[in-house]
Amino acid sequence: MESEWRIFLWTTLSVGLTLSVFSFLYKDNPFYRFTESLYVGIATGYMTIILWYTGLLPTLIDRIWIGQPWWQFWGGKWWYIFPGILGLMMWFRFSKKKAWLSRYPIAFYIGISMGAAIPLEMKNRVNEQLFNTFISPDFSAMAGGFWNGISEIIIIIGVLTGLFYFFFSVPHKGVFGTVAKVGIYTLMIGFGASFGYTVMGRISLFIQRVQTIRDWASTGIEGGGGMSAIVWIFVLFIVLLVLIEMIRHMRKKPTEAV
Amino acid sequence: MLKHIIMLVLMVGLMTAVGWAQEEGTATDSVVQQTLAAPPTNVQAFDTPNDNGHSITIEWDISADDGQGLNNVVKYLILRSATPDGQFAEIGAATPGATTFKNSGVKDDEDPNYFPRETDFYYTVSAVTADGGAESEVVGPVRGEGQFFDTRNGPVLVGCLLFTIFTIFFIRKAKSGAKLYIRPLAGIDAVDEAIGRATEMGKPILYILGLGSAADIATIASFTILGRVAKKVAEYQTSLIVPCYDPIVMTVAQETVKTGYYDAGRPDAYNEDDVFFLTNQQFAYVGGVNGIMVRQKPATNFYLGKFYAESLIMAETGSSAGAIQISGTDEVTQIPFFVVACDYTLIGEELYAASAYLGGDPTLLGTLKGQDWAKAGVIISIILGIIAAVTGQTWFTELFHVGN
């Protein structure tokens, strides 16, 4: 029974917070502000701890001191001390005179990341896509017939014109303008399809939240839950919002009179 | 009595005979069951090419009883030992018909999947039937060694080199004072107008760098635009709010904004707290940014960088708050949301162009030109590649193929 109550309380809190977030659709209000601060605070604290346990501890501290007292770091992988020092240099940001030292780890980070990213981008976004565009339109019945060939021709035209739209060295006038226009139309058709697809995903997320509320309402607490609980919480919510608005309105009045 | 003895002898004799027959049958059956398959032949073990050295590849010709002959092979077992006559341990299995197996692992010696490189190993492959395995001859020693260059990435190297040559050429040209034409982009022209609007209204400017890390190309392009915005903001004495998702992005953004204020000759107006870390949880960040939008009511919102599912939520809130909005991202799935909710959108590549266009720096302009001509090279390659594919000239298309 006790665990049932516990589940009920946590679920009620979850439903309450969900409704608080949805109340933003009406306007900014204290419920939303409370939930926002709670979420930002918890998320930041949680991520900090996650970073400590999945990042700093296993990849730095545990490697330097493998089950040894802290002063015996030479038994572990002592060379990890150097990236550790780079990390510590970030703390110089708090000193106005030595803040320049924090630029070194940033330079290392960006330099190394870019060095690793450029060949990957060239491979995944240029070479592989280029190779896969080298297609000979196939109208055979085995490949899908006439419409397969047409579809492949559309892909080729779309890729070439879309790419040309991003060519900045010539003004988009005359023939170039027409080609670029076909390119942007192709992109917009693609964006439209993507938009519809993603909105469907969002609607399913919304349905999921509504189902959580519905499940909470239908399970409730034995003998005391049911649909009445959800009705009550909605009513309470709306009454509180109206009260807040009235108080705000009353507070504003004297100012307006002045 | 004699009759009974004869009957007993006959029964015992019969039972014994049946027993023998059964034993004989069992013995015959066991001969059939214990039939082993022919072992795999031509086994070869060699260092896996184009890797970091933590892998060895084993190849063999299938058993004569795999899919033919007795057709009784159920799997192949790959066995490994540190010495040719030592204890061979099973390291993996392959299905019937398979002719290759990669014995690989990770380079971290604390990981249970560690595979040492530059260590000699001996291998044998066993064709397994229901009755046991028939092992091939032992091959080895073989050791894994890392390769400095992955030869499959040759086209990537050529692409990078060509791009570098284009970029260096155009940077030199831009630095020599040559006029480089870049077509105007509506979103870029609106940047100054949007800053001016915020100044006139006496409201702040909100600049969102997205959810990317400081190493993402979109975020780096956004830093350049932020520098330009910060300079204008300092000149017009407007306030700027930059909530950050990533602590390192925040650090770089602080440096960028500070430089912008210095360039405008107003270092005193720079406030480090205007560029701050919010949280690095996606939707908590959205909640925080939305709160800023409805409470501080910025006149202009910039969304430039890497964005994911949060793009529409933020852009829609900004739109309902009445701000002029300029967005730009290279994240294809998020561009549609910015297109519908923002006044101006820089689509993909335009974001990179904007950073060069606004910066006006010859290095950036030269880079943009280099990119442009690399794109022209890509367009020409596609046309030639399609002609080659239609005419069956696969050697040309293979020039661009990157192996996996």
Q: How far apart are CA B217 and CA A36, in angstroms?
A: 30
Q: How many folded domains does chain A comprise?
A: 2
Is A123 within 8 Å of B379 when comparing Cβ atoms? no
Contact status, residue B240 vs residue A135, Cβ threshold 8 Å? no
ipTM over 0.85: no
Of A109, A134, A159, the residue at which a domain comes to its end is A134
**Among residues B295, B243, B228, which one has the least CA distance to residue B273?**
B243
CB count in 10 Å sphere of residue B384: 15
Is B336 within 8 Å of A198 when comparing Cβ atoms? yes
Are both A122 and A180 inside the same structural domain? no
Q: Is residue A243 part of a domain?
A: no
Nearest chain B residue to A193 by CA: give it: B336
| Residue A2: predicted pLDDT | 58
**CA dist B350 to A121, A168, B183, B256, B335, Å?**
17, 9, 11, 21, 12
Task: Report residue A223 as tokens.
Answer: 């003998």
Of A103, A134, A165, the residue at which a domain comes to its end is A134
Task: Report residue B243 as tokens.
Answer: 């909530």
Cα(first)–Cα(last) distance of chain A, in Å?
Answer: 58
Q: Is the pLDDT of residue A255 over 60?
A: no
Amino acid present at A256:
E
| Residue B39: predicted pLDDT | 85
| Residue B213: predicted pLDDT | 87
Q: How far apart are CA B295 and CA B321, in angstroms?
A: 9
**What backbone phi and psi angles, to 5 degrees, belong to B275?**
-110, 110
Are both A197 and A145 inside the same structural domain? yes
Domains of chain B: 41-142 (2.60.40.10), 180-360 (3.40.50.10160)
Q: How does residue B24 score in pLDDT terms, banded at 50, 70 and 90? A: very low
pLDDT tens per residue across span A35-63: 999 999 999 899 889 989 998 888 888 88
Nearest chain B residue to A102 by CA: give it: B251
Are both A129 and A99 inside the same structural domain? yes
Q: Is residue A189 part of a domain?
A: yes
Is B215 within 8 Å of A198 when comparing Cβ atoms? no
Task: Report residue B403 as tokens.
Answer: 């192996």
Is A163 within 8 Å of B378 when comparing Cβ atoms? yes
Are both A107 and A125 inside the same structural domain? yes
Q: Is residue A23 part of a domain?
A: no
Chain B positions touching A192 (Cβ under 8 A) are: 336
- In DSSP notation, B249-294 reads HHHHHHHHHHHHHHHTT-GGG--GGGEEE--SSHHHHHHHHHHHHH
Q: How does residue B385 score in pLDDT terms, banded at 50, 70 and 90? A: very high
Task: Report residue B353 as tokens.
Answer: 């162009």
State the residue range of the domain holding A100: 84-134
Average pLDDT for A190-216? 84
Are both A103 and A169 inside the same structural domain? no
Are both A160 and A176 inside the same structural domain? yes
| Residue B215: predicted pLDDT | 79
**Among residues B59, B61, B63, which one has the least CA distance to residue B44?**
B59
Q: Is residue A198 part of a domain?
A: yes
Of A16-20, A208-212, B284-288, the one with minimum mean pLDDT is: A208-212
Q: Is the pLDDT of residue B26 over 50?
A: no
Q: How far apart are CA B370 and CA B174, in angstroms?
A: 11
Q: Is the pLDDT of residue B30 over 60?
A: no
Question: Does A214 reach chain B within 8 Å, measured CB to CB?
Answer: no
Q: How far apart are CA A10 and CA A17, in angstroms?
A: 10
**What backbone phi and psi angles, to 5 degrees, belong to B147?**
-105, 140
Q: How far apart are CA B128 and CA B389, in angstroms?
A: 45
Q: Is residue A199 part of a domain?
A: yes
Are both A155 and A113 inside the same structural domain? no
Is B287 within 8 Å of A160 when comparing Cβ atoms? no
Q: How far apart are CA A43 and CA B358, in angstroms?
A: 36
| Residue B241: predicted pLDDT | 94
pLDDT tens per residue across span B330-344: 888 899 999 989 999
Q: How far apart are CA B357 and CA B194, in angstroms?
A: 17
Are both A94 and A125 inside the same structural domain? yes
Question: Does A170 reach chain B within 8 Å, measured CB to CB?
Answer: yes
Q: Is residue A102 part of a domain?
A: yes
Chain A positions touching B159 (Cβ under 8 A) are: 122, 126-127
pLDDT tens per residue across span B238-253: 999 999 999 889 988 9
pLDDT tens per residue across span B190-235: 888 888 889 999 999 999 999 988 878 889 889 988 998 999 999 9
Q: Is the pLDDT of residue A223 over 60?
A: no
Q: Is residue A96 part of a domain?
A: yes
Q: Which helix (H) or strand (E) holds B18?
A: helix B2-33
Q: Which of B169, B277, B347, B395 to mutate to test the interface with A (most CBs of A within 10 A)?
A: B347
Q: Is residue A177 part of a domain?
A: yes
| Residue B4: predicted pLDDT | 59
Unique residue bearing structure tokens 């159920």: B74
Give the burial string for A11-24 (b: 16+ CB within 10 Å, else e): bbeebbebbbbbbb
| Residue B169: predicted pLDDT | 92
Q: How does residue A135 score in pLDDT terms, banded at 50, 70 and 90? A: confident
Q: How does residue A241 score in pLDDT terms, banded at 50, 70 and 90? A: confident
